[in-house]
Structure 1
Amino acid sequence: MTRHAVVALTVAAAVGGLTAPTALANSALAAPAAVPAAVPTDPVVTGATVNGGKDVVVGTTERKTFTVTVHGSDDSGLQFADVDLLGPAVGFYTTDNYCETATACTTTFTVDPHPDPYNENTDLRNANAGHWYVNTLVDTNDGASLLAKNVGGFLLKRAAALTVNAAPEPVVRGGTITVTGKLTRANWDTYRYAGYTGRSVALQFRPKAGDTYTTVKTLTTNGTGNLRTTVKAASDGYWRWSFAGTTTTAPKNATGDFVDVR
């Protein structure tokens, strides 16, 4: 029994001596586990800035040029942007450009109050004034695309003009000052300025030594856009009309008219 035990142990040792190196060799020859390839992320559009965040105001003669910057990101970077502007009465403008950075794409638009005889879709009419929206199709450096709607907005407004005249000049202290004026706005259908009727306009005063205007009273423009009121002369200073604007028409302050009170 002792001999059989020794033989058994010897065989086991021999088998073990052959098996361990073989397992190690097989382990060394095995291929490493594959690392999954990175999956490209979808592009993202986070918003759009129009005209530096200011309203776009257009008169009757001069073109207005402004920028639209689309903001976004992608793991490969933004490459190209097609930008559409949509507004009231089927208003539509479009342009495109390569992106200046991996996260910003800026395009330039020009609005002309006079119609383009070669492209009726660019005609600017009174009905186009108001809220406009930005749609964009962006391309990335790795070939992906994204259509994003209503990523920004702005107000396209008709320019306003406002006059003032305060008289007499000079005036006796305690006397009556008559202040007149007229509020008009650009008419994109006729290419002229016309009276803006039924609008609230503030009469404001600034003392000669001051730098701030204060509202004295508020009037409504008549059927032709005219304004007229009277005030008592108390001290030297400047009188002006001030229009706060609407969603379709830009605000406007008249240049102050100085009255010398004696």
Structure 2
Amino acid sequence: MRICSTVAAVTGALALAALAVPAAQADQVTNNLDRPSVIKRFSATADSSTLSATAVPTITNVTVNGGKDIVLGTTYAKTITVSLTASHESGIQDAIIFLWHGTDAAHSDGSLPPNKYGATWATCTASSATTSTCKLTITIDPQRDLYKNSLAGTWHVGAFALAGDSSHYYNEYYGTHRVQRYSKLTVNASPEPVVKGKSITVTGKLTRANWETHDYRGYTNQPVKLQFRKAGTTTYSTIKTVYTDSYGNLKTTVTASADGYWRWNFAGSSTTPSVTATGDYVDVQ
């Protein structure tokens, strides 16, 4: 797990002589796999609040992963795109966007810094002499960066912009974004075929990524909708809501009335994305 304090060091390195953070620390950010401890505060000269409003860049339109929640399973790393638009009378040199998790910046327990390519962190495209849109990528490895399940949920988004005259804006509380545990949902409707008017038993299981054990475990006590689509139609209708048991299992019975498809539909939660099972066809005779 990469230490959040190294993110502060990275942004400090970009501010050149204005910051009291050695550049050597910044070079360690992509190699530090230790669990995070704290986000170090910048020195007074690095604090944008000490500078006049016209002296620092203005940041707008910070976007993380296209506005979509970041969803991670247990095995594969994912690279997301982040961007911001910044303006300053001297133009924009560079930018950084990073994510961190914790109750406050001094006690963070998770950090997702950006990837660095070449001399700068971001690829900045100018739309005018004063304004640029800067894009970066963040690669997230669930086995390295997400070492406990409590990291699922809302993360803070930090933003940094470096102007052409080396003035800068930095805010580790610029916004928030959700990081979630990938979910799976199965369904089985039986018997197949079934006599009209008889009972159909519909089962399934809702699981989600466990970042501590690197497998999938049942998501307990969650409301899941049982839905039905009659053969020859395109729309599913909700029949009832069933809660998962202590293992994530689902089970209910319905009366067979027509040929069609049965599925489970989970709306999602703050830590887990929505998921819908593929419909299971039952022939009613």
Q: Same fold (TM over 0.5)?
A: yes
Q: 2:202 aligns with which of 179, 185, 203?
A: 179
Task: Report the AA paired with residue 113 of structure 1.
Answer: P
Moved over 4 A (4+): none
Q: Please say if 1:238 is aligned against 2:261.
A: yes
Counterpart in the other structure of 2:113? 94
Q: What is the identity, as a one-letter code, of the residue corresponding to 2:57?
A: P
Pairwise CA distance, 1:174: 1.2
- Are residues 76 and 212 of structure 1, via their aligned partners in 2, closer, same or farther at CA, if it must alter by over 3 Å? farther
Whether the 8 Å contact between 1:50 and 1:153 is mirrored in structure 2 is no
Residue 71 (structure 2) pairs with residue 48 (structure 1): no
> 1:183/1:123 Cα in 2 relative to 1: closer, same or farther (>3 Å)?
closer
CA separation in 2, counterparts of 1:123 and 1:214? Answer: 37
How is 1:108-147 mapped onto 2 (pairs within 5 angstroms)? Answer: 108-115=137-144, 122-147=145-170
Q: Which protein has the larger Cα radius of gyration, Structure 1 or Structure 2?
A: 1
Equivalent in the alignment of 2:99: 85
1:107 and 2:121 aligned: no
What's the C-alpha RMSD, in Å, of the aligned pairs? 1.6
AA matched with 2:199: T
SS in 1 for 2:160: strand
Instruction: Give distance in 2, aligned partners of 1:64 and 1:90.
Output: 20
Which residue of structure 1 aligns with residue 271 of structure 2?
A: 248
Structure 1 residue runs of 5 or longer lacking an equivalent are 1-39, 116-121
Match of 1:152 in 2: 175
Match of 1:204 in 2: 227
Distance apart, 1:41 and its partner CA: 5.7
SS of structure 2 residue aligned to 1:83: strand
Residues 168-189 of structure 1, C-alpha deviation per residue, up to 9 Å, x if partnerless?
1111111111100011110000
Distance 2:220 2:146 in 1: 25
Structure-to-structure mapping, 1:187-226, within 5 angstroms = 187-226=210-249
Runs (5+) with no aligned partner, structure 2? 1-53, 103-107, 127-131
SS of equivalent residue, structure 2 residue 113: strand
Residues 123 and 237 (structure 1), Cα distance of their counterparts in 2 relative to 1, 3 Å cut:
closer
SS in 2 for 1:137: strand
Q: Residue type of the partner of 1:48?
A: V
Q: How far has the Cα of 1:161 moved from its partner?
A: 0.7
Note if contact 2:208-2:218 (Cα within 8 Å) is conserved in structure 1: yes
Alpha-carbon separation, structure 2, partners of 1:173 and 1:123:
49
**Counterpart position of 2:41:** none
CA distance in 2, matches of 1:83, 1:155: 15
Q: Is the 8 A contact 1:51 1:66 kept in 2?
A: yes
Q: Report the residue type matching 1:245 in the other structure.
A: G
Residue 197 (structure 1) shift: 0.7
Structure 1 SS opposite 2:125: coil
Residue type of the partner of 1:226? N
| Matched pairs, number | 217
- Counterparts of 1:156 and 1:81 in 2: how far apart (Å)? 22
Q: 1:124 to 1:110 in 2, by over 3 A?
A: farther
Q: Counterpart of 2:82?
A: 68
* CA displacement at 1:75 relative to structure 2: 2.3
Distance 2:56 2:71 in 1: 36
Q: Report the counterpart of residue 186 of structure 2 in structure 1.
A: 163
Seen in structure 2, the aligned counterparts of structure 1 residues 47 and 151 have a Cα distance that, compared at 3 Å, is: farther
SS at match of 1:154: strand
Query: Aligned equivalents of 2:267 and 2:236: distance in 1?
Result: 14
Aligned AA (1:114): Q
Which residue pairs with 2:280 in the alignment?
Answer: 257
